[in-house]
């Protein structure tokens, strides 16, 4: 079965669109901060403001550093220690941390946050002994970052809107089923393309398309002069 995330990303690359770089950078920044705090807690034997007999030292502020990634420079605040030093495993050259982190974020944007994938990411970074509550906290923070972007207000005008749907085979309740992924891509007056939103449903019926398009209007979509789509009856009626 084809990975839905990879299928959708390949489709977006084919039509000259992609996930918003600003969203990707922000998600990488948020996730990096959480992962560094976990590493520091393990290294010094205590969380922030926590009193334990295992504590070996204390935090001592942060140092700023830009992490050069394939989605641009990501500002990091790396924790400093009073005694000893800390270097994030994310920045170790031999680790494929950036690729693994982006993979989890892309999947979270398209399919929703998977605690299993977050757990795999944590282990890939060499963080052992991470309890389920910590993995859940990371997942919740990533979920909130994705939600804020997907529900963001649409600003400016989009004279052209391109609507399309893909059918993917996905696993649900131990069964392989077909689901429709509907996508809206806006084209600004400058010619720049932007993913306005997408949704996943059982089929691209009229009610599904209508609810999807209304959600775009509720977020501020305006200035549309031309909609490009196929001749699907339900989609035409919804438009």
Domain assignments of the chain as residue spans, ordered by start: 4-150, 160-238
CA distance 238 to 202: 17
H or E element: which one contains 37?
helix 21-44
Could you tell me where the DSSP H helices lie in 53-187? 97-111, 115-124, 132-150
Within 8 A by CB and 6+ apart from 50, the residues are none
Distance, CA of 105 to CA of 24 (rounded, Å): 7
Contact predicate 12/18, CB 8 Å:
yes
147-to-85, 180, 229 alpha-carbon distances in Å:
35, 20, 27
Pair type for strands 175-187 and 193-201: antiparallel
Whether the full predicted model's pTM is greater than 0.85, yes or no, is no
Mean pLDDT per 10-residue run, the chain (239 residues)?
71 77 90 89 72 75 91 92 86 76 87 83 75 86 90 92 83 72 89 87 85 95 93 89
Give, in degrees to the nearest 5, the angle at Cα 104 between 103 and 108: 115
Q: What per-residue confidence (pLDDT) applies to 29?
A: 93
**Count of alpha carbons within 13 angstroms of residue 169, beta-carbon side:** 5
**Which residues, including other chains, have CB under 8 Å from residue 48's CB and lie 6 or more apart?**
37, 41, 59
pLDDT of residue 130: 76
Specify the 3-state DSSP secondary structure of 237: helix
- The residue among 102, 109, 110 whose CA lies nearest residue 168 is 110
Among 110, 140, 98, residue whose Cα is nearest residue 20? 110
Distance, in Å, from the CA atom of 186 to the CA atom of 180, rounded to the nearest integer, reads: 20
CA distance 166 to 41: 44
Q: Is the dihedral of CA 147, 78, 96, 69 positive or negative?
A: positive
Cα dihedral 126→128→131→136 (10° resolution): 10
């Amino acid at each position: 079965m084809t990975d839905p995330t990879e299928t959708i990303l390949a489709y977006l690359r084919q039509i000259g669109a992609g996930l918003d770089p600003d969203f990707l950078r922000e998600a990488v920044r948020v996730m990096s901060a959480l992962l560094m705090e976990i590493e520091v807690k393990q290294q010094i034997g205590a969380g922030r403001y926590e009193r334990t007999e295992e504590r070996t030292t204390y935090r001592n502020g942060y140092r700023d550093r830009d992490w050069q990634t394939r989605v641009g420079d990501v500002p990091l605040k790396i924790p400093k220690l009073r005694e000893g030093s800390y270097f994030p495993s994310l920045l170790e050259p031999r680790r494929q941390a950036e690729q693994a982190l982006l993979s989890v974020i892309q999947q979270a944007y398209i399919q929703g946050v998977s605690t299993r994938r977050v757990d795999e990411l944590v282990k890939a970074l060499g963080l052992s002994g991470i309890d389920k509550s910590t993995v859940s906290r990371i997942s919740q923070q990533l979920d909130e970052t994705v939600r804020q972007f997907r529900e963001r207000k649409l600003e400016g005008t989009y004279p052209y809107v391109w609507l399309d749907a893909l059918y993917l085979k996905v696993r649900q309740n131990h069964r392989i089923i077909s689901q429709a992924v509907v996508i809206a891509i806006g084209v600004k007056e400058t010619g720049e393309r932007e993913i306005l939103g997408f949704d996943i449903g059982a089929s691209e019926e009229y009610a599904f398309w209508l609810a999807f398009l209304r959600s775009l209007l509720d977020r501020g979509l305006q200035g549309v002069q031309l909609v490009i789509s196929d001749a699907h009856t339900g989609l035409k009626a919804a438009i």
